[in-house]
Structure 1
């Protein structure tokens, strides 16, 4: 686990349900369970501040970190997809984005490509990206955050004259490779699920281990949204393994949730002036209100 990615997992999976910010000491304790040193954590939080994902405030000699708007968007883009039902039908519209970025802004061009991939876009031709998902608002927020108005054009179309929809999908996405990744996840966690059930039944699985395993589960499953565009059901391949992986993810997650949250609460310390009430039910079951 890379420190930055794990921080997003911890914020999305636990911290956001208890506060808007976290004491660095709590973050160090949580991340130490995954073999990450204190120096690496402090260095990563500093880089997150410099990159505009975190902001920090001091209370006495303690530092408390919270997500900026940019950080929240990055976190929630992933977690909304992790916990959404994803059972909607396609509205028949393609969202198509084209861009032209000067060579001296190569880093910005790379950032555009990365963000579009995370939002489920596929590259269908040079400088042209497409998605069947209703992501216009997210794209416009991204354009505004990065001041991309001079470089990009976003439009929708209900038809593509030169290619049918399946040809377009074949151009932009490799579902065979994505399916292989899902099958690997299923093979791994189907066996783990049976083991966890037996050990919980025999009272052999500690709260700490549940916290570690739930975090690993979410961290690994969240990585699929770097490769899976999250298509509407009617555009997915037949017998799509992603749906089976999702059901398994839900079952394992719920099995571990209550003891994992109990352990998280022993590690987390909110700021002394924080007036927010913790939403423990949502931390236990993040599926409850994201659709």
Structure 2
């Protein structure tokens, strides 16, 4: 599994795993220094921050001659949802019903339709047809935020309903998601990172790994595992195949991240400059 990443993605990872736990605001100089550990230069960081600001994920505030950045409300919601899914917070038992979202967005607003589809995939919806998306998970809050964000209230509707068709729930799953392909991706993650876990656990126990190296490896681990948010719909156990590797991958991720987290936090805190929370605009 390749370790490719861009500046914007790594900033998302650092905000989600670190900055939001330290007041949710950081000086741009500290952010630049943190990203230097991954080989990103100042120009790349400033360009990525500018794009993220324009996209509504973060916001800036000047204090004297310094610029500080924090998550917007939209950014906080996305980070909270990502954290919940990455760290597999307990979810209620499935009620056997489906959330069904339908849209009819006109061609002249095609860009909104494309954006909505991207959000639906990220949130865990699957396409039953071109304009009909389903999920077994209660994503009503996320649905309302999506509709409000893209101002498509008149084009979108959704239901919470029982499936009364002639096929099984598993047949619906097969129409919407390729779980075999996702399982193969999990197998690749387990194969690579189980080896890395053993190597780094041994090095850390012998104090042969620096705090900065642990920070980089921890962030890269989270970044790599975070990619599953875009392909794994986080289905309830009742809808998963018998030999599902998602749980094994999650256990490996948590164990690996646990041995890296303490020295990684030490490095982050050595670079981080505390700022006061920015008022939401």
Q: TM-score, normalised by structure 2?
A: 0.94
Gaps of 5+ in 1: 276-291
1:157 partner SS = strand
Secondary structure in 2 matching 1:22 = strand
Q: 1:195 aligns with which of 191, 199, 204?
A: 199
Match of 1:2 in 2: 6
The question of whether the paired residues in 2 share the 8 Å contact of 1:86 and 1:233 is answered with: no
Go from structure 1 to structure 2 and tell me whether the alpha carbon gap of 1:88 and 1:189 turns closer, same or farther (over 3 Å shift).
farther
Change over 3 Å in CA distance of 1:237–1:7 after alignment to 2: same
Give 1:205 shift: 1.2
Q: 2:173 maps to which residue?
A: 169
- Residues 1-291 of structure 1 correspond to what in structure 2 (within 5 A)? 1-86=5-90, 88-271=92-275, 273=276
Give secondary structure in 1 for the equivalent of 2:128.
Answer: strand
| Matched-pair contact (CA < 8 Å) for 2:70–2:277 | no
Question: What value does the CA root-mean-square deviation take over the aligned residues?
Answer: 1.5
State the Cα distance separating 1:88 from its structure 2 match. 4.5
Segments ≥4 residues shifted beyond 4 Å: none
Q: State the 1:108 CA deviation.
A: 0.6
3-state SS of paired residue (2:49):
helix
The alpha carbon displacement at 1:8 in A equals: 1.2
- Give the TM-score taking structure 1 as reference length: 0.91
Aligned length: 274
How far has the Cα of 1:86 moved from its partner?
4.5
Q: Aligned residue for 1:287?
A: none
Mapped to 2, the partners of 1:274 and 1:248 lie a distance apart of 34
- How far, CA to CA, are the matches of 2:164 and 2:171 in structure 1? 10
Separation in 1, partners of 2:86, 2:54: 27
**Partner-residue secondary structure (3-state), 2:144:** helix
